[in-house]
Amino acid sequence: MLSPEKFQRDTFSALNNPQLRRNFKRAMSGLMEKRQAVFPDAEEWQQLRELGSLIRANALRKLPELLEQLEANCTANGIQVHWAETVDEANKLVLEIAQRHKVKSVVKGKSMVSEEMELNHFLGQYGIEALEADLGEYIIQVDHELPSHIIMPAIHKNKEQISQMFHEKVDPETLAESAEEMTAIARKILRKKFYEADMGVSGVNFAVAETGTLCLVENEGNGRFCTTLPPVHVAVMGIEKVLQRLDDVPPLLSLLTRSATGQAITTYFNMITSPRKSVEKDGPLEVHLILLDNGRSRMHSDELLRDTLLCIRCGACMNHCPVYTRIGGHAYGATYPGPIGKILTPQIKSLHEAGHLADASSLCGACVEVCPVKIPITDILLRLRHDKAENKRNIPFTESGGLKAKTESLIWKCWGMVYANP
């Protein structure tokens, strides 16, 4: 459960954890340098992000129409499309598919929507094991943690911490000293699970309406395993991920990979348009696409808040945020941390439950400057603060002025600590 008090406690805890702060300082500095290296030409960067923003804005303007087109073309291709208004509905759809096929084990590619759904926990309640196949996700799953970053979920840990965790919880006979050794240990376990899994679950980076194609971006190959080896593939995506044309993909792919990890292109780019055809020897026999709303339609109905849905989940805003880079992702207590989380979570949850996150910003604008699709994050933060203060949008909010004053006072003390200890 989110609350201002919990956020304050977790923020102070993070600020008083020297190892955590060292881990983030090193990781964030490296990511910022890599991003700068792949965008050497400021003019090209501005032109590309202008194009990316226009592509995403165009898709959002036509969202209902494009979703219908996506459903029609996916269905024609043999992909079974399902609609979910809430995370509960989405989880039940995944469970129904799993139970129909007597699924006991699931392998998962990286998916923030599945984190939003808390899918692993939900399936576990019904005796279905869901194993994360992305290395970072696997690390935090073994250590019973949540992701601290939307691209690099285990970024809060250093090599030595991961090595010790592997020794204690994965392979007690081995104390790996290098990243390569740890990767080899995880690979050995995951390869076996890929072949044993009854169902694969993935996210979707982009869904192309004109062709009914699902696009997945990855570096490790786990996404390809999850979507091709098990007999059933279930893809989960937020309704905002749809694009109009196949030609829209390359500019956004370039922006995503360079902004996220400082790569010109990722190792793997998967395009899924159908289940296995009769003439093919491999691939899933069934492909399901679950389209999740979970508050996105409400955002879409508001001209300013709609821009929240432009996001392509690159994480650049987090890497440059003076708050996130000092307190990390876990302090936010939500699926989406950092600047994008501050505007997304209060809209997915409610201002009553998560409105305090909109206050957790200096409004410096660093996130806006690096956003590859030009989301006006600071404008949206101010709007959410205003709505919370005015108790608008039919969202309940405490009328206790004393509690509000105390909360804001503590938040500003947190920021004082942040800037006093860079």
With beta carbons less than 8 A apart as the criterion, state whether 299 and 120 touch.
no
242-243: strand order across its sheet: 242-243, 206-208, 213-218, 268-272
Tokens of 218: 């990855």
Q: Pick from 145, 154, 150, 190: which is nearest to 170 by CA?
A: 190
Q: Pick from 216, 241, 31, 207: which is nearest to 133 by CA?
A: 216
Q: Pick from 381, 321, 314, 312: which is nearest to 351 by CA?
A: 381
Instruction: Quote the CA–CA distance of 240 and 66 in Å, as a whole number.
Output: 10
pLDDT for 400 equals 35
With beta carbons less than 8 A apart as the criterion, state whether 305 and 383 touch.
yes
pLDDT for 13 equals 96
Amino acid at 70: L
pLDDT for 330 equals 97
User: For residue 319, which phi and psi values (nearest 5 degrees)?
Assistant: -65, -20
SS3 labels along 369-388: HHCCCCCCHHHHHHHHHHHH
pLDDT for 406 equals 46
Q: How far apart are the first and last CA of the chain?
A: 29
Low-confidence residues in the chain, pLDDT < 50: 393-407
CB neighbourhood size of 402 (10 A): 8
Question: What is the residue extent of each domain of the chain?
Answer: 4-34+301-392, 64-294
CB neighbourhood size of 264 (10 A): 8
- Paired with 213 in beta bridges are 208
CATH number of 64-294: 3.40.50.10420
pLDDT for 172 equals 87
Amino acid at 5: E
Give the predicted TM-score (pTM) of the model. 0.91
**DSSP 8-class letter at 125:** T
Q: Are strands 129-132 and 206-208 parallel, antiparallel or unpaired?
A: unpaired
Query: Do the first three CATH levels of 4-34+301-392 and 64-294 match, i.e. the same topology?
Result: no
pLDDT for 223 equals 93
Instruction: Give the 3-state secondary structure of residue 354.
Output: helix
Amino acid at 135: L
- Which positions ≥6 away from 123 have C-beta within 8 Å? 91, 94, 95, 98, 106, 129, 130
pLDDT for 421 equals 58
With beta carbons less than 8 A apart as the criterion, state whether 84 and 235 touch.
no
CATH class of 4-34+301-392: mainly alpha
- Paired with 274 in beta bridges are none
User: For residue 379, which phi and psi values (nearest 5 degrees)?
Assistant: -65, -40
pLDDT for 376 equals 98
Instruction: Quote the CA–CA distance of 263 and 311 in Å, as a whole number.
Output: 19
- Element housing 72 (H / E): helix 63-77
Instruction: Give the 3-state secondary structure of residue 213.
Output: strand
pLDDT for 397 equals 35
pLDDT for 404 equals 42
**DSSP 8-class letter at 59:** H
